[in-house]
């Protein structure tokens, strides 16, 4: 078993209000400790904002600016430019936003910021729904999932943010999960070393939102990757694809059936999802072969 070795710089404090077992808090812990103290974060309304804490307490040691839901990327651009105007070019500017504030209401500002190749690392904590407001659907919610606003199952597919960001041909786009900590840390370090716009989507299984027990977050993320539902890969400059896993080793059923939000799935729907994943995987393998 490969052992983890991640420096813990105590940039994330205990006492935060994340749900027990929340792997978004876990992702924040390791992302912050990898980035280091010379960082400013922009956070919209989201679970991340709740985890940051209530006035006058903060669970992050670095400065955090909480902006409105649509405007994370714009606000981060403002911070970035203001720091640059003061000659502080080494300070890292990051966004930690949910899928709502990234795929939907925040999408416009994000596309604009990356089109300008703003120098920031944008982390999307993708828990596939508006979890902070009680688990309603977002455009990141996958097909057939039951949510607060799609109780019969969502009829539309999940938007592919990674491919959209890759189409903007920004220096670095990647996917990651908190179950694959060494991979996540390595990607954060790599992103930090590249100037320009960098977007990393981190899959966050949400325990109440997806219908998982408190201790299942890591296992769910691992299965998402092993089944190919959330492949780990990187795209540099919109052209060079690197697949970070050599195979997908399990049927999607193993991942889907452990979540309450998929319990109503019919056999036909399950087959359809498997076929879609198989096709997407084959495309990804081909793209990364040409790199």
Between residue 51 and residue 70, which ones bind other proteins under the rule CB under 8 A?
52-68, 70
Element (H, E) at 112: helix 107-115
Smallest gap from residue 50 Cβ to other proteins (A): 8
Kindly write out the interface string for residues 76-95 of this chain, putting x where it contacts other proteins by CB under 8 A and - elsewhere.
Answer: xxxx-xxxxxx----x----
Kindly write out the interface string for residues 102-121 of this chain, putting x where it contacts other proteins by CB under 8 A and - elsewhere.
Answer: ------xx-xxx--x-----
| Window 211 to 250, contacts with other proteins (CB under 8 A) | 213-219, 222
Handedness of CA 133, 137, 142, 146 (dihedral sign): positive
CA distance 249 to 24: 25
Given the complex with other proteins, which of 15 and 151 has the nearer CB atom? 15
Q: Are 74 and 19 in contact (CB under 8 A)?
A: no
The DSSP result for 172-203, as a single string, is: EEEEE-TTSHHHHHHHHHHHHTS-SEEEEEEE
Binder among 71, 138, 147, 175 for other proteins (CB under 8 A): 71
Element (H, E) at 167: helix 161-167
| Window 5 to 34, contacts with other proteins (CB under 8 A) | 6, 12-18, 20-26, 29-30
Given the complex with other proteins, which of 26 and 273 has the nearer CB atom? 26
Smallest gap from residue 235 Cβ to other proteins (A): 23
Smallest gap from residue 97 Cβ to other proteins (A): 13
Smallest gap from residue 18 Cβ to other proteins (A): 6
Given the complex with other proteins, which of 26 and 161 has the nearer CB atom? 26
Residue 88 CA to its chain's centroid (Å): 27
48 is a contact residue toward other proteins (CB under 8 A): no
Kindly write out the interface string for residues 189-218 of this chain, putting x where it contacts other proteins by CB under 8 A and - elsewhere.
Answer: ------------------------xxxxxx
Choices 41-49, 157-165, 188-196, 276-284; region in contact with other proteins by CB under 8 A: 41-49
Nearest to 75 by CA among 98, 109, 100: 109
3-state class (DSSP) for residue 99: coil
Q: Are 116 and 194 in contact (CB under 8 A)?
A: no
Given the complex with other proteins, which of 222 and 253 has the nearer CB atom? 222
CA distance 246 to 224: 15
Buried b (16+ CB within 10 A) or exposed e, 156-166: eebbebbebbb
State both tokens at 102. 């990234």
Smallest gap from residue 291 Cβ to other proteins (A): 27
| Window 122 to 181, contacts with other proteins (CB under 8 A) | 181
40 is a contact residue toward other proteins (CB under 8 A): yes
| Residues 228, 177, 223, 144, Cα dihedral to 10° | -70
């Amino acid at each position: 078993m490969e052992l983890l070795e991640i420096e813990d710089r105590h940039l994330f404090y205990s006492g935060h209000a994340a749900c027990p077992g929340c792997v978004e808090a876990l992702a924040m812990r390791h992302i912050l400790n990898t980035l280091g103290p010379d960082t400013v974060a922009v956070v919209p309304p989201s679970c991340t904002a709740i985890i940051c804490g209530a006035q006058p307490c903060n669970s992050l040691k670095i400065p955090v600016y909480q902006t409105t839901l649509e405007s994370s990327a714009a606000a981060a651009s403002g911070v970035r430019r203001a720091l640059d105007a003061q000659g502080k070019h080494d300070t890292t500017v990051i966004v930690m936003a949910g899928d709502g504030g990234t795929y939907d209401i925040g999408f416009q500002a994000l596309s604009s910021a990356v089109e300008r190749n703003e120098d920031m690392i944008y982390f999307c904590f993708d828990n596939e729904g508006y979890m902070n407001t009680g688990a309603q659907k977002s455009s990141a919610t996958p097909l057939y999932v039951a949510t607060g606003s799609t109780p019969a199952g969502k009829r539309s597919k999940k938007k592919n943010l990674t491919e959209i960001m890759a189409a903007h041909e920004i220096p670095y786009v990647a996917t990651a999960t908190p179950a694959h900590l060494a991979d996540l840390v390595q990607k954060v370090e790599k992103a930090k070393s590249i100037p320009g716009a960098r977007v990393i989507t981190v899959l966050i299984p949400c325990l109440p939102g997806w219908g998982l027990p408190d201790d299942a977050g890591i296992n769910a993320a691992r299965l998402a990757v092993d089944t190919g539902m959330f492949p780990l890969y990187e795209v540099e400059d919109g052209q060079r694809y690197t697949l970070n896993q050599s195979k997908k080793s399990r049927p999607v059923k193993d991942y889907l059936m452990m979540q309450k939000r998929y319990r109503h799935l019919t056999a036909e729907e399950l087959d359809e999802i498997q076929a879609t994943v198989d096709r997407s995987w084959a495309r990804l393998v081909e793209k990364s072969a040409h790199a």
